[in-house]
Amino acid sequence: MTNPSILPGQEGRWSFLYLAWLVALVASLSALFIGEVMGQAPCSLCWQQRAFMFPLAILLAIASFRADTTVWRYALPLAALGAAIALFHSLLYAGLIPEGIQPCSQGPSCASAEMTVLGVLPLPYLSLAAFLAIVFALLASKSKAQS
């Protein structure tokens, strides 16, 4: 079944938009599950990443419903800024950032074992992967005529 609001030739771009929304939705629901159900308090960098991911889930849901492939103009800056924070957080988690500039001095530690899913997947890396997936999906959803 096709969406009647999708113009001919836009099906592929809409699929990437839908994929970006699914990634944002899963990331947002996962962050809520980890914080609210598992009771794991987020660090300050996690809160900052949530500030970019949660609006993306809403914005991309509306754009997917409306088949608005021009949403990349608004969503791409949010995803790119979120990815930048997630990259910084990942570098911090990996120990590549000197301790003197670590922003996580209060609250949960970014280097603790609680920052992993299933004991092996670090949350900062998962967040970075989600933001990068959204960035690439949004770039793929934009048409050459819109650039």
Rounded to whole angstroms, the Cα distance separating 22 from 27 reads 8
Tell me the CATH number for domain 11-146.
Answer: 1.20.1550.10
**Per-residue pLDDT for the chain (147 aa), expressed as one digit of tens each?**
444 444 445 556 779 999 999 999 999 999 999 888 878 778 888 889 999 999 999 999 999 999 888 899 999 999 999 999 999 988 888 888 776 665 555 556 655 656 666 667 888 899 999 999 999 999 998 864 354
| Domain residue extents for the chain | 11-146
Quickly list DSSP for 80-113: HHHHHHHHHHHHHHHT-S-GGG-S-SSSS-TTSG
DSSP letters of 31-75?
HHIIIIIS-----HHHHHHHHHHHHHHHHHHHHHHHT-GGGHHHH
